[in-house]
Amino acid sequence: MENDALLKEVRAKAEKWLKGNYDEATKTEVKRMMESPDSSELIESFYRDLEFGTGGLRGIMGVGTNRMNIYTVGAATQGLSNYLNACFSDLQQISVVIGHDCRNNSRKFAEISASIFSANGIKVYLFEDLRPTPEVSFAIRHFGCQSGIILTASHNPKEYNGYKAYWNDGAQMVAPHDENVIMEVNKITDVTSIKFEGNPELIEIIGEEVDALYIEKVKALSLSPESIQRHKDMKIVFTPIHGTAVKIVPRALRECGFTNIIDVPEQYVVSGDFPTVYSPNPEEPAALDMAIQRAKATDAELVMATDPDSDRMGIAIKNDEGEWILVNGNQTALIFIYYLIRRWKETGKLKGREYVVKTIVTTEIIKEIAEKNGVECFDCFTGFKWIAAVIRENESIKDYIGGGEESYGFLPETFVRDKDAVSSCTLMAEIAAWAKDNGMTLYQLLKQIYLEYGYGKEKGISVVRKGKSGAEEIAQIMTDFRNNPPKELAGSAIRIIKDYKTLKQKNVATGEITDLDMPATSNVLQYFTEDGTKISVRPSGTEPKIKFYIEVRGEMKTTDDYEKADAAANVKIEAARASLKV
């Protein structure tokens, strides 16, 4: 009966699209789904409205209320326009920046959004072609805009597209604006209330002039220009994985002084079909395969890859045997934080008011590096909008050094307020040159960091559950963990439980419950064991997944102990995984 009721509800929603003010191609597709003997596609397309969440929209492209199309994008843009006009009614001219990535329909969605904003009296700075997410954030700040959007689904598979919304500081929105925009978007229930007919006079095309300003800012971040000069011919393989960094990262590297940038020709082809990879995600080992093969063929020293919208960066380096290995997001963040703090210290920039930021699921070693060097470390929720919020709160009070998250995102500056793979690529190349100056490879530098601050290893596990039934299963998994928490993990007793949904921390041994000081609630559970293991569990906010983050600790007395510590950590991780039954 439940399925019959759902199908009846879905058909009623689809009928509105057949009779409403929608284009003929859309109506033809709706009719095809309604006439199909298999109703699963119709249900998945209409069983809910694609939610405009606190990060915007993300979903599979297609026809229906639960899909990315010109009408769901249009409703989002109309709702945002209404909110901007209400918030900034005192301004003579409200303005926004619009960017897009390489995905299919991204340009189309960007142009439609530009028309809707302009129809609502809002000036639009529209990038001429695809651009990285961080450059859109930069442009919002540069032009003094009140908001901005980028059409991107980041590293999701090719079927997806998305819509990320930003506020006037160039960061994704937080309270109260995120919830207020959601309310405005939810009010758009009739397609006729979307103003599709734009005002071309309010749309300005931007491009090279912004690129040049952005790259100048990136160049100014260098802490070891002399190291770059000495190793400027270091061989660096870079791949944009068909995305927006195709021109800007090689250009930035060259303008910073590196002269030997080696491309991966097949992946320099801009394409929303991502023809050379199953998933355009630098977190996935397979996504770097072609770049590593290119590095082997050219005897390169560093491999770097960016995702389609160029906010995440993955790297591969050589170990002591000359074999190429992948560096995970936690290790990348460790290298960045270690280098930045050390060079700030060596160049006299540390004055006692500096800080770094990490997300709660990112390695605890970052906190140890910071604290041992007199640098404050802030913990925040997953998502770079929370790192940006910490930057905003401390502006003119404290000095930001850098911030990152385990999912391959890092920000080494404040002229952007989202993770930035462009500046991260130039910084990582600089670190490789600096390490050479100090007689080390990046692999040896990583081992040195572990020796100085303690060894740790992390593993992320994603359990994918798609569709309506998957969402229900993920919700039940979180309920089960919340109601029946584990007593031990990998043989070590649970010491602390943190529930960020209730903002309560429980000391298991004493039963003491204390408050967690966070700016909002989040559906995340964390378990800390007596041996230093940390487990985090959270549903993804952008993908049909529930994520488990495992971090274990170990010992190293010399850098030669690295492989032994790594092997012991793998055993402990698998034991923790077995305890979690994932």
Res 175: pLDDT: 87
Give me the DSSP letters along 231-253.
Answer: TTT--EEEE-TTSTHHHHHHHHH
538: which strand partners? 547
For the segment 286-298, what is each residue's pLDDT rounded down to a tens digit?
999 999 999 999 9
- Backbone angle region of 205, left / alpha / beta, with phi > 0 → left and psi within -120 to 50 → alpha: beta
More reliable by pLDDT, 383 or 122: 122
Res 467: pLDDT: 80
Q: What is the mean pLDDT of residues 198-212?
A: 98
Which residues, 6 or more positions from 3, have their beta carbon under 8 angstroms from its beta carbon? none
**Candidate list 154, 310, 536, 579, residue with the active-site label:** 154
For the segment 47-99, what is each residue's pLDDT rounded down to a tens digit?
999 988 777 899 999 999 999 999 999 999 999 999 999 999 999 999 999 99
How sure is the predictor about 581, in pLDDT bands with cuts at 50, 70 and 90? confident
- 195 CB-side CA count, 13 A: 16
**What order do you get walking across the sheet with 261-262 strand by strand?**
261-262, 236-239, 302-306, 313-318, 324-327
Query: Mean pLDDT of all residues in the chain?
Result: 95
Cα angle 573, 574, 577; round to 5:
90
Q: What is the mean pLDDT of residues 387-411?
A: 96
How far apart CA 362 and CA 550 sit, in angstroms, is 10
Res 1: pLDDT: 36
Q: Which residue is associated with the tokens 């492989």?
A: 563
Q: Is the peptide bond before 308 cis (omega within 30 degrees of 0)?
A: no
Name the percent of the chain lying above pLDDT 70: 99
Contact 139, 147 (CB under 8 A): no
Residue length of the chain = 582
Q: What is the mean pLDDT of residues 164-168?
A: 97
Q: What's the token pair of residue 23?
A: 């284009």
Cα angle 385, 391, 397; round to 5:
160
How sure is the predictor about 173, in pLDDT bands with cuts at 50, 70 and 90? very high
How far apart CA 485 and CA 501 sit, in angstroms, is 14
Q: Could you tell me how many helices (H) and strands (E) the chain has, helices first?
A: 18, 23
Res 466: pLDDT: 83
Res 195: pLDDT: 98
How far apart CA 191 and CA 112 sit, in angstroms, is 14
Is residue 439 helix, strand or coil? Answer: coil
For the segment 445-504, what is each residue's pLDDT rounded down to a tens digit?
999 999 999 999 999 899 988 887 888 899 999 999 999 999 999 899 999 999 999 999
Backbone φ and ψ of 510, nearest 5°:
-100, -15
How sure is the predictor about 444, in pLDDT bands with cuts at 50, 70 and 90? very high
In 3D, which of 192, 196, 185 has the Cα closest to residue 115?
A: 196
Q: What is the mean pLDDT of residues 212-231?
A: 98
Is residue 288 helix, strand or coil? Answer: helix
How far apart CA 549 and CA 461 sit, in angstroms, is 6
Residue 401 has pLDDT above 60, yes or no: yes
For the segment 335-360, what is each residue's pLDDT rounded down to a tens digit?
999 999 999 999 999 999 999 999 99
Give me the DSSP letters along 92-103.
Answer: S--EEEEEE-SS
How sure is the predictor about 552, in pLDDT bands with cuts at 50, 70 and 90? very high
Is 154 a catalytic site residue? yes
Q: Specify the DSSP class assigned to residue 248.
A: H
Q: What is the mean pLDDT of residues 134-155?
A: 97
- Backbone angle region of 529, left / alpha / beta, with phi > 0 → left and psi within -120 to 50 → alpha: beta
| pTM for the structure as a whole | 0.94
Q: Is the peptide bond before 176 cis (omega within 30 degrees of 0)?
A: yes
**Domains present along the chain, CATH in parentheses:** 1-45 (no CATH), 48-206 (3.40.120.10), 214-453 (3.40.120.10), 455-580 (3.30.310)
For the segment 234-248, what is each residue's pLDDT rounded down to a tens digit?
999 999 999 999 999
